[in-house]
Structure 1
Amino acid sequence: MTAAPAVQTFPRHVRLLTGADYQRVFEDAGRQRGRHLTLLYRPAEGAEARLGLAVGKRHVRRACDRNRIKRIVREAFRQCRTDLPALDLIVLARGSAVTADRHALRAEIDRLLERLQ
């Protein structure tokens, strides 16, 4: 089995890791709203786009549903991160994301990310 090319991975340096990273985006963010997801963004301090996820229990009760949403968003980001400008991104899930199927969620996150390019 061969390793995935470095461009197709989701390494640590393209993630928002600390509370300060998240706070910086929340304080002064642009916003793209979809039906099930909201995308907050702000110019990054580094050279690459970075992703953070905020899928709370308040909106998505079951852990398996939260994890499903996060997997779908991470995969979409992973596949298009080289095409994105240097932005820090946070994806927020709304309650309606629970009932949406994975194709609808994937189409929505793709559409939101495409607007940033």
Structure 2
Amino acid sequence: MGNVSFTRELRLLTPAHFSYVFADAVPAPSKHITILARKNSNYTHPRLGITIAKNRVRKAHDRNRLKRVIRESFRHHQHFLPNVDIIVIGKSNLDTLSNQEFNALLNTLWKKLKKRCEK
């Protein structure tokens, strides 16, 4: 399976990185989150950015929990994803999901995203 760490090089760090994805993204939406991706030929691995707005998930500890689950899920699926920049956008009522439900949702969306990006 290889290395499953989440190092700095696997992250979208600057506003320019996020703008690049937003400009021409391939979506994988659901009721609770939307995953956007855009092919990036400059890297040999996928990169991840997360946005969960305070007005969508009010409590900081819930936002942090959700981000941890997203990062953990990405770590385990990064070797199966194509070379894309990914942004995960949280929607309202995301904090009502348990970790298990949220993980199952992410697993489904990673598969959907992979299929859409390979087209």
Taking the aligned partners of 2:4 and 2:36, their CA distance within structure 1 comes to: 23
Give the whole-Å Cα distance in 2 for the aligned partners of 1:34 and 1:105: 11
1:67-88 deviation per Cα after TM superposition (whole angstroms, max 9, x unaligned) = 0110000000001101110010
Q: CA deviation at 1:116?
A: 2.6
Q: Does 1:107 align with 2:104?
A: yes
Give the one of 26, 29, 36 matched to 2:32: 36
For structure 2, the residue ranges without an aligned partner over 5 or more in a row are: 115-119
Structure 1 position 48 matched with structure 2 position 61: no
> How far apart, CA to CA, are the structure 2 residues paired with 1:58 and 1:16?
22
Query: Which residue of the partner structure matches residue 9 of structure 2?
Result: 13
TM-score normalised over the length of structure 1: 0.91
Size of the alignment, in residue pairs? 113
Amino acid at match of 1:104: E
Alpha-carbon distance in 2 for matches of 1:96, 1:37: 10
Is the 8 Å Cα contact of residues 85 and 116 (structure 1) preserved in structure 2? Answer: no
Aligned residue type for 1:110: N
Query: Is it true that 1:67 corresponds to 2:64 in the alignment?
Result: yes
Deviation at 1:6, TM superposition (A): 6.5
Q: Using the TM superposition, give the Cα deviation of residue 32 of structure 1 relative to its aligned residue in structure 2, in angstroms.
A: 0.7
CA contact (8 A) 1:53 1:70 kept: yes
SS in 2 for 1:83: coil
**Displacement over 3 Å in runs of 4+:** none
Structure 1 spans left out of the alignment, 5+ residues? none
Letter in structure 2 aligned against 1:17: L
Q: Does 1:24 align with 2:51?
A: no
Q: TM-score, normalised by structure 2?
A: 0.90
Hey, what does 1:85 align to over in structure 2? 82
- What amino acid sits opposite 1:103 in the alignment? Q
